[in-house]
Amino acid sequence: MDGQTRMMRGCRWIAGAAALVAIAACGSDGDTTARNAAAGTPAGRLDLGVVSVTARIGGDNEYSAGVVVDGERGLILTTAHGVWGATSLKVATGMAVLHGRIVARDACDDLAVLETQPRLPGLVAVRPSADASLPAGRPIVAVRRMTGLPRGGQPDLITTRVAILTSAVRKLAPGIAPKGAVQLDAPELPAEASGAPLLGADGRLAGMAQIVQRGATTTRAALPWETIMARLGELEPGGRAQYVGWRRHYRCAGALHDYAAERHPRFRRTDAVLNAPVPATRLPGTEGVDR
């Protein structure tokens, strides 16, 4: 046996040992294996990060899409017009159909943040792209979820190739002009896809689709992640009201009131008041019991 053969055998031993160590390290933690199985593939991760939202507004159902921005806190980003005045929200995720609650709204940029209840751990936030802008001609895919129960084991996602146009969107609806929004060329993207994440070629979040339907006219826009990131950065945990920071955007609230009233005749402005105090149905004479 010559030195070269010995050297090769030695290398084989090292390679074999390294492979064993790698296999042992992977197999030693059952959780990791299961997690990898559930969310190891890009489609699996996306399945746990893209949601569909059903809002009950003025007695009608309004459907939209959304994306998980904080899996641990169960925070979902969607469009404000899709949930404006909702008396009930259902969020279909890759794990379950959950209840939703609005924790922040930005009427001017047409953004809303929802919180899911109960808080099921395991949702995955879609990672933002390094390039947070949406230049024209960049390959983009809009992803949304089918409404209803997750089928378990297989993603329930619908992907649509879209094109970014060079022209900016002046307004989505009267009084609503998101900063930095550009026109989206996607005639096959329905109004239910409003709030759908727009993914770049790297599979990461580049923006959000905003689709407003008024009569026979449908306006499709793409809000770049840089705008969304700036808005989310303004939010901070409030006292007991969860999140604050978008108060100045209430100047556009009237426009969304009008939009909701036009689309849902039984819409009430009082339903769109966020964080309205709920007075308890108190037993008379017990006001001072716990003081």
Binding site for other proteins (CB under 8 A): 1-3, 6-7, 10, 13-14, 17-18, 21, 24-25, 28-31, 34-35, 38, 48, 72-73, 86-91, 95-99, 101, 117-122, 149-152, 237, 239-242, 275-283, 286-291
Two tokens, residue 78: 């969607």
What letter represents residue 282's amino acid?
R
Q: What angle do CA 237, 239, 256 make, to 5 degrees?
A: 70
Q: Whole-angstrom Cα distance, residue 250 to residue 243? A: 15
Q: Are 105 and 112 in contact (CB under 8 A)?
A: yes
Smallest distance, other proteins to C-beta of residue 17, A: 5
Minimum CB separation of residue 12 from other proteins in Å reads 11
Q: How far is the CB of 64 from other proteins (least distance, A)?
A: 16
Respond yes or no on whether the N-terminal peptide bond of residue 118 is cis (omega within 30° of 0): yes
Q: Identify residue 129 by its one-letter amino acid code.
A: S
- In the complex, least distance from residue 81 CB atom to other proteins, rounded to whole angstroms: 18
Nearer to other proteins, 36 or 168 (CB): 36
CB closer to other proteins, 137 vs 153: 153
Distance of CA 79 to the CA centre of its chain: 9
Closest to 211 in 3D by CA, of 189, 227, 238, 180: 189
What whole-number distance in Å separates Cα of residue 291 and Cα of residue 288? 5
Helix (H, G, I), strand (E, B) or coil at 87: strand
> What is d(CA 76, CA 114) in angstroms, rounded to the nearest whole number?
5
Shortest Cβ 159–other proteins spacing (Å): 22
**CA atoms within 13 Å, Cβ hemisphere of 48:** 23
Contact 249, 243 (CB under 8 A): no
The number of beta carbons lying within 10 Å of the beta carbon of residue 38 is 17
Q: Which is nearer to other proteins, 173 or 260 (CB)?
A: 260
Nearer to other proteins, 220 or 264 (CB): 264
Token pair in block for residue 195 = 């709030």
Q: How far is the CB of 169 from other proteins (least distance, A)?
A: 31
Cβ distance to other proteins smaller for residue 243 or 246 = 243
Q: What are phi and psi of 31, to 5 degrees?
A: -60, -45
Residue whose CB is less far from other proteins, 37 or 136: 37
> Least Å distance between CB 92 and other proteins?
9
261 or 274: CB nearest other proteins: 274
